[in-house]
Amino acid sequence: SLLYREFDEIEALQPIRARGAMYLMVKIDMSKFNGRIKDDIQFANLLLKEQGVLCLPGAIFNMPNYFRAVICPPPHIIAEIGKRVKEFCHKYCDGNASLPAKL
């Protein structure tokens, strides 16, 4: 899928190919974030707050350090999602980020 390819280009993420589902599960390599993001819940909250991208933290599916994203938006929206998630991950992986005071 298009979203799989977008996330596969991001070093800190490892997408799992969807098989007949309308969503994609993505593993988050927390070691890439150097302690700046502690878990999938904080990842999802910050991603929504900073980039306006909604994903569900894997913890609610008993899959910590994963997130779930729908794969059915139109291609131009998926491209924008990919751009925003890349920007977010690079910000926190490269050490150029400080966490906001409050979520």
Q: What is the mean pLDDT of residues 17-22?
A: 86
Q: Which residues touch 87 (CB under 8 Å, ≥6 apart)? A: 51
Report whether pLDDT(57) > 50.
yes
Cα four-point dihedral sign 79, 80, 85, 86: positive
Q: What is the mean pLDDT of residues 52-74?
A: 96
Q: Which residue has the higher pLDDT, 19 or 80?
A: 80
Report whether pLDDT(97) > 90.
no
* pLDDT tier for residue 5 given thresholds of 50, 70 and 90: very high
Cα four-point dihedral sign 98, 100, 101, 103: negative
pLDDT for 103 equals: 44
CA angle (93, 79, 99) in 5-degree steps: 30
Edge-to-edge order in the sheet of strand 56-57:
13-16, 23-28, 66-70, 56-57
